[in-house]
Amino acid sequence: MENTGTGSFLRTRRLESYFDASSSPNVKEKPKTLAKEELGLKPRVDMFADEDGWSSVLISWIRIVTCFLTMMVTTFIWALIMLMLVPWPYERIRQGNIYGHVTGRLMMWILGNPMRIEGAEFSNKRAIYISNHASPLDIFLIMWLTPTGTVGIAKKEIIWYPLIGQIYVLANHLRIDRSNPTAAIESMKEAARAVLKNNLSLIIFPEGTRSKTGRLLPFKKGFVHLALQSRLPIVPMVLTGTHLAWRKGGLHVRPAPLTVKYLPPISTKDWTADKINDYIKMLHDLYVKHLPESQRPLVLEGPRNSSNS
């Protein structure tokens, strides 16, 4: 199901495509692609062709600088708001979500990637939202698309990320020390208690870090501990194409098409602590099923037991 309102809002002009098409001598060598488009078939994310011409790079840099300047403005405005709300931590969470909705949507509009949202009917439930993570774009999408009343859980080092880290702390989101598994598990328990007390949702990357290749990494146990403590349902968010649009270590945003797919909520009311590894494998397999071939793990990257949370 396509969210047409979102699709029309994010539809890009793709200036770089026009520049490349006007200068390329090989346009006539792509009849199959044109035929598919004329037939109305959906383009495959893993079939995206890189656009590394000078015009594409220049437009990408302009967009990135515009994003940074825009984020500076929105961060300054909401930082002032949240500083005035220091005595009211729940209100800071709510304002942090509003900041994310505004900033995340602006970032994606400026970058201009074609985008499709599926399963939007599952996007406003009180739940533990989990997402694969392969690109900086994932942060913007999560900021924009998680519901108001959602608290994030990230590594403690996020405070050093320019702009995002500081607003993250002001918004009263949660940080954990991943170097100490015992302390991390205790942090998860405290997070679950805070979520239940304040009727919040959670967002977490179960891989625990960003994939360098775009392929799904093994899942950590933290999100299962949260589910066991809170008994909230789990709503998987499957992000595809972001690893092609903005690769790790680079500053070139390509016009790759993106898809955000919300899967139906998974009840955790009957989950038991002795089946943690089974739940991890079940969720990991679910992601493998819904990801394109280019983002599925290699055989050696499959789920493995991990003592880390």
- How many residues comprise the chain? 309
Query: Over 80: is that where the pLDDT of 24 sits?
Result: no
Query: Over 90: is that where the pLDDT of 307 sits?
Result: no
The CA distance from 40 to 258, in Å, is 17
Considering the chain, what percentage of its residues have pLDDT values greater than 90? 55
Q: What is the mean pLDDT of the chain?
A: 82
The CA distance from 289 to 304, in Å, is 17
Strand partners, 175: 154
Max intra-chain CA distance, the chain: 64
For 111-165, what is each residue's pLDDT tens digit? 999 999 999 999 999 999 999 999 999 999 999 999 999 999 888 888 888 888 8
The CA distance from 214 to 221, in Å, is 21
Among the listed ranges 32-46, 57-71, 132-146, 239-253, which one has the minimum average pLDDT value?
32-46
CATH class for the region spanning 49-301: alpha beta
Contacts of 90 (CB under 8 A, 6+ apart): 172, 198
Residue with tokens 């989990």: 130
Is residue 303 within 8 Å of residue 286, measured between CB atoms? no
* Range ranked top by mean pLDDT from 37-51, 52-66, 153-167, 251-265: 251-265
Contacts of 170 (CB under 8 A, 6+ apart): 78, 79, 82, 83, 92, 96
Confidence of residue 181 (pLDDT cuts 50, 70, 90): confident
> What are the DSSP E strand ranges found in the chain?
115-118, 128-131, 150-155, 174-176, 201-204, 234-240, 258-262
For 258-282, what is each residue's pLDDT tens digit? 999 999 999 999 999 999 999 999 9
Q: Say whether pTM exceeds 0.75.
A: yes
Query: Over 60: is that where the pLDDT of 17 sits?
Result: no
Structure tokens at 116: 């499709």
Query: Over 50: is that where the pLDDT of 31 sits?
Result: no
Of 272, 277, 122, 108, nearest to 201 by C-alpha is 122
